[in-house]
Chain A
Amino acid sequence: EDQVTQSPEALRLQEGESSSLNCSYTVSGLRGLFWYRQDPGKGPEFLFTLYSAGEEKEKERLKATLTKKESFLHITAPKPEDSATYLCAVQAPGGGADGLTFGKGTHLIIQP
């Protein structure tokens, strides 16, 4: 069974303190790995798609990287508005958008 594990479950940082969130997966033949951001009481918002090991994508203070076993979401000099839950999802072979497996998320708090 495909599994996605995100760590840590929660992370509290000071403003400007850089760190990384982890998403490890056990899907064979990964077709795509997605990162979403979810604010409290809202739906997730798409951030990145990564397709193959070695790939990197950046958006503002966020950079996502991918290896054969895991993905990292690096956050550089975070601001309070980066506080949210970050979700990772993987797409298995033969699976379309209906074949996504989501992790439980990392709840990130950035303190001023």
Chain B
Amino acid sequence: DGGITQSPKYLFRKEGQNVTLSCEQNLNHDAMYWYRQDPGQGLRLIYYSQIVNDFQKGDIAEGYSVSREKKESFPLTVTSAQKNPTAFYLCASSLGQGLHEKLFFGSGTQLSVL
């Protein structure tokens, strides 16, 4: 079955540590996205990528970094500069990046601080 796989499901970060969240898709989609979801807030866009080796900052990119070396993969690194990293992180993809493109989401990674 085609879909988006996020791992791990749960992740704990120590003070000053960088952690990387994995996102893989086998939908052959060009565009991929990272969203952050906090309780009582709407989804907020961190980074997105339309094609391999290219990505753009979203609304809350500070303290995060990404890479897009393969079409299928879009890992997110939460750096030590992100002072409030506890959240539910969602990876998504879409066939293109135009109007009316619906998003396909992974099952998310819950990141907590130790």
Contact = CB atoms under 8 A, between A and B. Distances in A.
Contact of A32 (B43, B90, B91, B100): B100
A45 interface: yes
A97 B104 contact: no
B108 interface: yes
A43 B105 contact: yes
Contact of B106 (A43, A100, A103): A43
A4 B43 CA distance: 11
A112 interface: no
Nearest to B98: A96
Contact of A46 (B4, B42, B58, B102): B102
Contacts of B105: 36, 43-45
A43 B108 contact: yes
Interface in A83-102: 87, 89, 91, 96-98, 100-102
B7 interface: no
Contact of B107 (A36, A43, A91, A100): A43
Contact of A102 (B43, B97, B100): B43
B43 A98 contact: no
Interface string A61-82: 0000000000000000000000
A41 B108 contact: yes
A59 interface: no
Contacts of B4: 43
A78 B105 CA distance: 25
B107 A42 contact: yes
What are the 3 tightest A-B residue pairs by CB atom distance, in nearest-first order? A43-B105, A102-B42, A97-B101
Given A34-B102, A97-B31, A100-B103, 4 more contacts: A43-B4, A49-B100, A97-B98, A102-B44
26 contacts: A31-B99, A34-B103, A36-B103, A41-B108, A43-B4, A43-B6, A43-B90, A43-B91, A43-B108, A44-B105, A46-B104, A49-B100, A87-B42, A89-B43, A96-B96, A97-B48, A97-B94, A98-B45, A100-B45, A101-B42, A102-B42, A102-B44, A104-B40, A104-B41, A104-B42, A105-B42
